[in-house]
A and B are shown apart, each in its own frame.
Chain A
């Protein structure tokens, strides 16, 4: 295990960012999102969640894929190449690390998404254990341990120090690169810090949420439940829950045309939107209830059916951010589970 004084974190960031991009949670206009570090930027360890998850780094909300230029009868296509430079992401929480696993299932299985795969191959992820979980967190219900967040390198803040341990080859290489700044230490300080976080985790009000009504093979049981009618009513059909979610992976492909030049880009889509998966015949989810149901069935039934894991990771972002406070916790509880009283 390696140790660094928290007050020296900027030296660590400067060393890493000397020859590559470093993404981390940064404040802008009062909100914290992943951004590119530049010298002097401050990392605030008390911020638990970014508004948009780390998904935005590996699968950006908006990315150009190709451009087309027409000149007279000539038509030129210029594909935009996937990322080919190494980069590092710092400050990822355990829930977002699991969220990336869910994205991997989708984007790295056949047909592989080359843009996403390139970023995954070139990115080294440093996770940071959650020192102060929020009441909205229920990652532990999905078997996630916020004190052992995983990824290439995992860090935990213990008093004045931040302690790193590498989990992968990439992680070992990165810690070697900044070895001058780090000193060796044993596990005891990290273990103490984790023990005190665990005390809080035991008190999380949503941690004992009962997921037994959900999961593989539950489509028939849940699809036509009458509860959907009432639950969907308050929903505004906005994209907030999908856009802040670390695992929502649907995107749309659009063209943006200015003069002779057209840029083909993709951007996140939301199953809550009325034009989601619009096709020549229209849409197969014409009303709000169907769209609303899709989001939760996808996370809690269809994804488990297909990939053997829930694609909710309990980060609680949608719980905190939905403008009408309708969220996956309310949905899970509404459909039963004997401990969900």
Chain B
């Protein structure tokens, strides 16, 4: 990764100097080694500070709605982020001509919480060393396998290929990942009885603190005013009563992003209570694939999603009951 980071820094500086863009949206170093923040870099010297390592999980595409309105903005997108970018283009939330996309190669981003969950505390630095991560802590040094602490979205990465870019760093692009196992857990949930499944979701969703991080991070949640922010809607965004509010919120959200969710994994990544929200979205994706044929939101910027398109071949609403679902 160090090599890519160096190339990115000099290339971004060059793009600012030669007028291709006036700023770059990338990641900035935090206090520790795992807490990079999205940031804009508006001068060639500043661009020398951008960071690209295994803690760049945040998907930068949604920031473009706000920060690429004027001028020309360059953005670093990992393969999974490019789907979100295309989806934003499809929905006319961003303008292609204002943005210069640098597709960055990715071999998986790390979830610091997974390292913590291994009982490793007081983490002051993390270094990549081949397949391993060397973790320095207040209590000594530990080595872990990088593969054991990838973000959920990276464990089931669907593609290493960029679906939109102006240039790639490194130049060689990756391939789709066919065997990604991303529906395995959905299948497990489907195999449960209705009661077991209810219990699973009740336990998870009752942890929700209604912080709305999942919604705010989601590149498919781009309504100018969310219904849950409308005090007159009767579904206020803040109450965390587990009898109604949380489930209502999550079900409405999952329905609303159905067919538009690219499975970028941001919702689960940002949730402070580690609720596996991606499972709701993946259930919808799986259903759409089954009822309407394989569909990947954001693969291109000009496709009509199956749920906003009508064809005479469409599944009948009775398809679900015919299948015998409970």
Footprint of B on A, CB under 8 Å?
28-31, 33, 46, 48, 51-52, 61-62, 132-135, 200, 203-206, 230, 233-234, 236-240, 243-244, 252, 254, 256-257, 265, 267-270, 273-275, 278, 319, 321, 323-327, 329-330, 333
Contact = CB atoms under 8 A, between A and B. Distances in A.
B17 interface: no
B174 to A, nearest CB: 26
B30 to A, nearest CB: 5
B230 to A, nearest CB: 8
Interface of B: 30-32, 35-40, 58, 63, 67, 119, 121-124, 137-139, 203-204, 206-207, 209-213, 215-217, 229, 231, 234, 236-241, 269-270, 272-275
Nearest to B212: A238
Nearest to B40: A233
B139 A205 contact: no
A52 B211 CA distance: 11
B239 A254 contact: yes
Given A134-B122, A205-B31, A236-B217, A265 B204 contact: no
Given A29-B204, A236-B217, A62 B37 contact: no
A340 B70 CA distance: 34
Contact of A273 (B137, B206, B229, B274): B229
Nearest to A239: B211
B209 to A, nearest CB: 5
A269 B210 CA distance: 10
A120 B30 CA distance: 38
Given A134-B123, A203-B138, 5 more contacts: A51-B207, A51-B272, A132-B121, A134-B122, A239-B209
Q: Name the prevailing secondary structure of the A interface residues.
A: loop
Given A236-B216, A273-B229, A267 B124 contact: no
A221 B268 CA distance: 39
Given A267-B238, A275-B231, A234 B216 contact: no
Q: Please list the 7 inter-chain residue pairs (A to B) with the smallest Cβ-Cβ separation, ordered nearest first.
A: A323-B270, A325-B35, A238-B213, A239-B211, A236-B216, A234-B38, A29-B203
10 contacts: A29-B207, A29-B275, A31-B274, A233-B39, A233-B63, A238-B270, A273-B212, A273-B238, A321-B272, A329-B31
A79 B119 CA distance: 46
A135 B203 contact: no
Given A46-B119, A233-B40, A238 B239 contact: no
A267 B212 CA distance: 14
Contact of A252 (B124, B213, B238): B238
A323 B217 contact: yes
Contacts of A326: 37
A187 to B, nearest CB: 26
Contacts of B236: 252, 254, 267
A125 B39 CA distance: 42
B301 to A, nearest CB: 24
A252 B239 CA distance: 9
Nearest to A333: B31
Contacts of B32: 135, 205
Most chain-A CB neighbours within 10 Å: which of B67, B207, B274? B207
Contact of A134 (B121, B210, B241): B121
A275 B232 CA distance: 12
A39 to B, nearest CB: 20
B203 A28 contact: yes
Contact of B37 (A33, A204, A274, A324): A324
A89 to B, nearest CB: 19
Most chain-B CB neighbours within 10 Å: which of A33, A51, A233, A333? A233
B38 A52 contact: no
Given A29-B207, A325-B36, A205 B240 contact: no
A33 B209 CA distance: 11
B122 A200 contact: yes
A194 to B, nearest CB: 17
Given A203-B138, A239-B213, A319-B35, A132 B239 contact: no
B138 A200 contact: yes
Contacts of B203: 28-29
